[in-house]
Amino acid sequence: MFIHKKLKINAAFIPLFLFSSITCLVFAAGLLNIMPLMVSLIFYAGILLFVLCIYLLVKKKYSIKNLLVPSSLVFVLFSVAIVLLLKGLILIHYDNFSHWGLIVKEMFRINGLPDGTTMISFRNYPPGSAVFIYFIGKIIGYTESHALMAQGILIAANIAVLSVFCKWKKISHLLLSIVLSTVLIAVIKNNLYNLLVDTLLGFTALSISIIAYYYRADWKKSMIINTPLMILLTLIKDSGKFFLIINIVLIVWLIYVHYIKGKKPKMTHSKILVYAMVFMILVPLGSNFLWLKYTQKAYPEASYSSNKFAVNIDKVNNNEKSEEFKETLAPSLIDAAANFNSPLFKSLLLLNALLVAMAFIVYLWKREKSKRLFYLFLFGNLTYVFYLFGLYFMYLFLMPEGEASKLAGFNRYNSSIVIYIAGLFMTFISYEFSKLSKNKTINAFAALVLAVLFVLPFQDNLAAVTTRPDVESSLRLQVKNDFSKVRGSHSKISHVIYYSPRSKKDRGYLKYLLMYEQLSNKYSIVTSSSTEKERKALNDLIKKSSHIVVLDSDPNFNQYFSQFVSTDRIEGVYKITNIKSDTMIHRLD
């Protein structure tokens, strides 16, 4: 309310502007190692402003009606739905344990941005949404469920932006906006239930573009709102720089069209462009530069170039990829992008056709050409081509050949840009539709048709949006419960052995899960005890360990372990006691 009164910005943008500004402030505090202090200052400042707003309402110096717009309802609805869906959940996805969940957990442990004392492996990655999650967690308490909720509410704030063109009188447009937002959430299956940032990245880039268009004739407000958003964009993920470039091009074009084109050159035009360049380029990239400097200080042994995805001249000049790989990369990338079995490609094809159809309908209905849809068609498709060139560059020069040859991560990278382009297309198709007719019956029918077409490519994914992951039968819950018993044994934890034949070919899932759970390297994973050599190695491990956790077993291990314990149910948690040459093992559960 205070932001609306002072800055006079549309209520649809307030949640996202507020959250991105908070993220920027807490991130800056993290660089200065005062994150808890900044959280407290923001929290108490918020309470004071809330009291001030109540006073203004009582004195009738402000009307709450200014905030009661459709976007506010959308934000509340999605926030409540997300909180209910994520209540009580824990993380189970691989990448949560390798990075995205790990960085959040470590930030709460050290009360600051990650440093050399943490278990984080990908040290040059930006902190992503972890900074905002830290802020929320410090206020309501840290749990994995609360972390998921915080990121979900950040997505809900982006969704509110998509409803900025909706009016209370046109309910069909509002409902269509809710449908398209749900479709965008479903683009990456189950992404809502983990802390991966690919969905958030696409949504944030999309919000910047919509805000820039909405305030195309008010560059000051566009810069005020979008500056913290652009900083957030570069902090979410390194590939956010692609989206930063895309949005810079869009904003410069909008400034040119509305302030410079067809007008005599003036000093004010130069000032506008200078301010735009400062706020759009220098400030976001400046924050990224500060992050790189922070990582150099926090991890002196890990330079920026040590990041396998780091952009540097040596990697470009000394490209050691095989000739076969270079020849097949472009065709492979095109085949992956233009895969007719992919819902991503189906969606882009369908939305391009809808965009053309809507432009034709507008022409028939109003006898005028829709420049907005024409430019959107060009911008969206050129953006996708530019993005694919960026991915080609990344695979060719930055990613190791073993991963690049498999186009590792392509679906997630591609999903982010599809969220962005599909979001733009659906938002403006809906906007044009809302302006065509005042007949409620026609509007309702047209909205239903558009909703079905929006949903069609992702119909299989939509069910997953409201389907909570099966935590009860997950390895994560088993490990979490078992390690809780280890910690509750009230004995020193020197080293923990985990026996699990099923994890032999898990591509490191159990390794990262244990690192996340224990926040240390004091563990070993054993997946077989079938040979004498393996049993001897296991004996040596037991001699230097304090606990052994049997996650699952096999006949060889059952026979081996029978010398220590006599039980029909081998799986469980055991305390190891080594006295000289004797070893005693007893069950804790």
The ranges assigned to domains in the chain are 475-587
pLDDT tens per residue, range 116-150: 889 888 777 899 799 999 999 999 999 999 999 99
pLDDT at 205: 97
Contacts of 475 (CB under 8 A, 6+ apart): 92, 503, 509, 510, 513, 551
Residue 314 — very low, low, confident or very high, per pLDDT cuts 50/70/90? low
DSSP state of 400: -
Q: Is the pLDDT of residue 199 over 70?
A: yes
pLDDT at 4: 63
Of residues 436 and 388, the one with the higher pLDDT is 388
* Pairing assessment for the beta strands 523-526 and 582-587 based on DSSP bridges: unpaired
Span of 145-159, 384-398, 430-444, 448-462 with lowest mean pLDDT: 430-444
DSSP 525-564: EE----SHHHHHHHHHHHHT-SEEEESS--HHHHHHHTTT
Quickly count: other Cβ atoms within 10 Å of residue 289's Cβ: 12
In the numeric block, which tokens belong to residue 12?
A: 């649809």
pTM: 0.93
pLDDT of amino acid 469: 92
- Write out pLDDT tens, residues 373-430: 999 999 999 999 999 999 999 899 888 888 888 898 899 999 999 999 999 999 999 9
Question: In the predicted model, what is the mean pLDDT of residues 265-282?
Answer: 79
Q: How confident is the model at residue 321 (pLDDT cuts 50, 70, 90)?
A: confident
pLDDT score for 322: 85
Q: What is the pLDDT of residue 124?
A: 75
Average pLDDT for 495-500 = 96
Q: Which pLDDT does position 267 carry in this prediction?
A: 58
One CATH from 2.60.40, 1.10.357, 3.40.50, 2.70.98 for 475-587:
3.40.50
The mean of the pLDDT values for the chain is 90
Query: CA angle at residue 408 from 334 to 349, to 5 degrees?
Result: 35
Q: Over 60: is that where the pLDDT of 306 sits?
A: no
